[in-house]
Amino acid sequence: MLPSLLLHCSLHQQSPITSTTFTTRNMPVNLTPSNADTRTFKVAAVQAEPAWLDLEGSVNKTIKIINEAASNGAKIIGFPEVFIPGYPWTPWAQNFAVAAPVLKAYQANSLPLHSPEMQRIQEAVKAAGVEVVLGFSERDAGSLYIAQVTITSDGRIANHRRKIKPTHYEKTIYGDGSAQSVFNVVQTKYGRLGSLNCWEHIQPLLKAHFYSQHPQIFVGGWWPAFAPHEGGSPYIVSGEASSRMTQMVAMEGSAFGIVGCQVVSKEGAEKMKIYGPDGSQLVEPVDPGVETILYADISLDKIDEVKLVADNQGNYSRHDLFHLVVHNKGGHNWHASTYENAKEQAAVNTIHGEVNNLVSLGLKAVDGDDEESA
């Protein structure tokens, strides 16, 4: 799939225009944000090869990339899917029995949410003064999940989510994300920042809920991109198809999209691209297979130019005809490991309390408190 940095514009106004505010992990969230912010700032998409099966090496490389992008003026940085400790290719190429030793090492080098390694990354983000969406293989006890965290410039994890449905062979390695994972947009000082992983870009109902959270910028995390499709496998798994998926989300949601992809040495990647709010390509793509950081300067007021034509949460919506219901309780399929260290356990308990509050809040209650409408 492709590394891309999609740039788009998203915000939605419904008639009558109302302003609704709730709190996401102590961050105020305005559901009718203004696009009139004319500040220009730099965003960065990461196209890099992971430190394969090496947790410490992966963390070191992640911090190095954060520092490099920050030194070049980036304010928001988007990483690929499971950048730590890399995408597990083995099951796609070997049967599970052959892959088992590699997957054991993969499990051992996956990143727990509450760990010294994650703390190092948070401290690096805070020191750099940037906003980061990081994709990683999350280890929770013996289970693995395709996860993303949004870390704000104060070093806090403002959002933690898991891919709601692993794709194809990924199901042999990873578990499903639960209800809290559909809440994937948070307020930052540079705008409302969202996150999606890989084929979540073609989950229609998930996307509808995503758009209802009014993302202005989103990070789409992708696995390694492939060279142009030449047959032998379905077109949908090609890098070109991935590019089109992320481009469509950016156009549908009218949101700037930062899309990062892994490199698998030599000729592993399709070209990274940056798209504008109307789907146009904004910068020249980089060479295939090259480790790099792609930059673009954006301004949120460009969102209005697209919204004037089509706002899928406002002037181009029919909420009187279509209704999405989201079950946001009763589906928790995960819990954090118990920590001997009291401070770590207290942090886990705090996070879980905030997650449960967020999940129970929803955007609009339907038939009690176990469903929400978007």
Q: Please, which pLDDT band fits residue 224 given cuts at 50, 70 and 90?
A: confident
| Per-residue pLDDT tens digits for 250-263 | 999 999 998 888 88
Burial of 149: CB neighbours in 10 Å, binned 0-12, 13-18, 19+: buried
Kindly list the catalytic residues. 81
Domain positions in the chain: 5-309
Paired with 285 in beta bridges are none
Q: Which segments within the chain are labelled E, that is strand?
A: 5-6, 21-24, 27-30, 40-48, 74-78, 131-140, 143-151, 157-162, 185-188, 191-197, 217-221, 256-262, 274-275, 292-299, 325-327, 371-373
Average pLDDT, the chain: 80
The pLDDT score that the predictor gives to residue 277 is 66
The pLDDT score that the predictor gives to residue 217 is 93
Of 250, 297, 240, the closest CA to residue 272 belongs to 240
Give percent of the chain above pLDDT 90.
47
Run of H or E including 212: helix 204-212
Of 45, 217, 199, 3, the closest CA to residue 134 belongs to 45
Q: Which segments within 15-142 are labelled E, that is strand?
A: 21-24, 27-30, 40-48, 74-78, 131-140
Kindly write down the DSSP assignment for every residue of 293-358, as one continuous string: EEEEEEETTHHHHHHTT--TTTTT--TTT---EEE-SS-----PPP-SSHHHHHHHHHHHHHHHHH
Class of domain 5-309: alpha beta
Of 277, 208, 188, 214, the closest CA to residue 9 belongs to 277
**Dist. CA 192–CA 59, nearest whole Å:** 26
Half-sphere exposure in the Cβ direction for 339 (13 Å, CA): 17
Distances (CA, A) of 154 to 26, 123, 191, 248, 295: 12, 9, 15, 32, 22
| Per-residue pLDDT tens digits for 200-213 | 999 999 999 999 99
| Per-residue pLDDT tens digits for 335-353 | 555 556 677 667 666 665 6
- Answer whether 183's CB lies under 8 Å from 160's CB: no
The pLDDT score that the predictor gives to residue 87 is 92
Angle 55-71/116-128 helices, nearest 10 degrees? 10
The pLDDT score that the predictor gives to residue 366 is 38
| Per-residue pLDDT tens digits for 5-42 | 444 333 333 333 333 444 444 444 445 566 667 789 99
